[in-house]
Amino acid sequence: MAPRVDALYFFLLGVSGFFSLLIAGLIVYYAVRFRRRAPDAIGARIAGGMVLEIGWTVIPLLITLVIFFWGASVFFAMARPPDDTLNVYVVGKQWMWKFQHLNGQREINELHVPLGRAVKLIMTSEDVIHDVFVPGFRVKADVIPGRFTQLWFQPTKPGRYHLFCAEYCGTKHSGMIGSVVVMEPAAFQEWLAGGPSLSPAAEGEKLFQSLACITCHRADSGARGPSLEGLFGRPVALSDGGTAVATPEYIRESILTPSAKVVAGYQPVMPTFQGQVTEEQILHIIEYLKTLRPAPAAAIPVPPAGAPSPAARPQPKSSPKP
Ligand code: CUA
């Protein structure tokens, strides 16, 4: 991204510099050229100049349009990561950066990435707004509590690059710094394999057991909560008649504020897990849910002919009996 951002930036500097010099130069030149030569001299009356008016309207319009389309194309390239990225989770916290790779390797204030591979950071904050800024890569994005933001880059040169927090986040904001280490792919694989940690999905599975999510969200029928198999990324029918898509935001909200969106056919009985799970753990649970495939077709009871449509099927056993 750096050469593209720089090219646009130097173009802006060039245009600004050119017009600043042109205008300042003309002011000085005309001040001298048309100075009052005799004490009783009177200036000529000028009614206007259509060519001039059109010229200084149309030329700046064209230049600003160039800047607009150029800027928009760079913006789109930054906002749209390619499909095949190496994903890394980032949690910002007063005052450190926590990174976790999908194999479980974790690091603090240091991010190792392989050369030449597009990397996508999926980021959230444990407390206040932070901002990931890697000046060497010309990328920067806010890290916001309660939301997932993303940022992507493709390193082209090995080395160590500054990483800053670019949003004032409290006393030690200026100390919230680190580095991005770009390694040769083979060295990166070696480094990555050195981690003893569980993968985020495995951590999530452990949490799913230890927080007892599993007691209600079982795959069998009759569970108190909806089954979560194959949930990720799918639309969910809600009890208020609306639908939601099972995005990371939806899952996070359902963990922290379960009553906000209740799945159709279920009672709002789930307690909040606010204060019991960290943002990192929520990311782990999301990774775990991604791994839950829908149950094989044979395991799904086939409704007998004439039975109500599947949409009306998920009636919990705990609903009041007539
Ligand atoms: Cu985090 Cu400034």
DSSP 109-171: SEEEEETT--EEEEEEESSS-EEEEEGGGTEEEEE-BTS-EEEEE---S-EEEEEEE-S--ST
Full-model pTM: 0.66
H helices present in 231-315, as ranges: 248-256, 279-291
Cα(126) to centroid(ligand 1), Å: 12
% of the chain exceeding 90 in pLDDT: 48
Q: With a 6 A CB cut-off, is 176 part of the ligand 1 pocket? A: yes
Between 107 and 198, residue with greater pLDDT: 107
| pLDDT for 22 | 95
- Lowest-confidence segment of 117-121, 221-225, 253-257 by average pLDDT: 221-225
- pLDDT band of residue 173 (cuts 50, 70, 90) is very high
Q: With a 6 A CB cut-off, is 167 part of the ligand 1 pocket? A: yes
| pLDDT for 199 | 78
- 3-class state of residue 240 by DSSP: coil
Instruction: Determine which helix (DSSP H) or strand (DSSP E) holds 27, and give its type and residue range.
Output: helix 2-33
Atom index in ligand 1 nearest the CA of residue 143 equals 1
Looking at the predicted structure, is the pLDDT value of residue 298 above 60?
Answer: no
Cα(285) to centroid(ligand 1), Å: 26
Atom index in ligand 1 nearest the CA of residue 130 equals 1
| pLDDT for 69 | 97
Which residue's C-alpha comes closest to atom 1 of ligand 1?
130
By the 10 Å C-beta count (0-12 exposed, 13-18 middle, 19+ buried), 283 is classed as buried
- pLDDT band of residue 314 (cuts 50, 70, 90) is very low
Arithmetic mean of pLDDT, 83-93: 92
Please give the biggest Cα pair distance in the chain.
108
Between 271 and 57, residue with greater pLDDT: 57
Looking at the predicted structure, is the pLDDT value of residue 86 above 70?
Answer: yes
Q: With a 6 A CB cut-off, is 169 part of the ligand 1 pocket? A: yes
- pLDDT band of residue 202 (cuts 50, 70, 90) is confident
Indicate the average pLDDT of the chain: 85
Strand pairing class (178-183; 110-114) = parallel
Cα(143) to centroid(ligand 1), Å: 9
Q: At what angle do helices 279-291 and 248-256 cross, to 10 degrees?
A: 120
Between 46 and 32, residue with greater pLDDT: 32
Looking at the predicted structure, is the pLDDT value of residue 56 above 60?
Answer: yes
Cα(308) to centroid(ligand 1), Å: 55
